[in-house]
Amino acid sequence: MGMIKTQKEIIEISKMAELISQLLQKSLAWVSPGITTFALDAMIEAEIDRMGVVGSCKGYAGFPAVSCLSVNDQITHGIPDDTLLKVGDIIDIDLVIKKNGYFADCSKTIGVGKISNEASHLISVTEECLSRGIKAAIPGNTLGDIGFAIQSHAESNRFSVVRDYAGHFIGLDMHEEPMVANYGSPHKGMKLKPGMIFCIEPMINQGRRAVTTRGWDVRTRDGKLSSRCEHMVLITKTGNKVLTSH
């Protein structure tokens, strides 16, 4: 895969980013107490079909659904099932779509009804981590600068950063190398250049960063909450352009 995307590729990937932003916004609006994650995924799949795109997650290495719906202590890759959402839960909706060989990926965590102050603070700090990571994503900086911006803000708020999973380059495939870690050291790692497109997706835990993975299911080892949000970012000559929106 070309790490530096051509102008045509940037245009087509940007179109997909607009579509997934619309899909994610609709999906978030469908979250309510009493709905199961399976029912939510079915609504998302119906919308994907209506849009004329493909839900890339379904069938990927055997994953059975078009969306990853991770609730409370689930960090990522939550498989939709009969889990009933209830007031006070938090849920991350992570979506990937493709069309004509171009991919887009986006996610966001929201609360179900009224949530605790602690859960709300976790979600807010995660969003702030994403914003700081994006701010560091400029030509001449490095992947380490992005990771450091995310890690330092999370840890200054006494949260921890998941290190087992990370962001990634994207556009001509769902996951392209290299990974975009949510931790790191300033000025370390690959230098950012115009034409690069990647996903920044901080995964921030309320407690320790240790995870427990069983098949697809990834949870915090201490059972505390985890929040994640994700944007696709294009490096430009003068800075960056966020291709997705929540």
What was the pLDDT predicted at 243? 98
C-alpha to C-alpha distance for 233 and 211, rounded to whole angstroms? 27
For the chain, helix, strand, coil in percent to 5 are 30, 30, 40
CATH of domain 7-242: 3.90.230.10
Could you state, in chain order, the average pLDDT of each consecutive group of 10 residues for the chain (246 residues)? 91 98 98 98 98 96 97 98 97 98 98 98 98 98 98 98 97 96 97 98 98 96 98 98 96
**Residue 53 CA: distances (Å) to CA of 18, 38, 45, 179:** 12, 20, 10, 25
What was the pLDDT predicted at 1? 59
- What angle is formed at CA 154 by the lines to CA 148 and CA 160, rounded to 5 degrees? 100
What was the pLDDT predicted at 44? 98
What was the pLDDT predicted at 2? 78
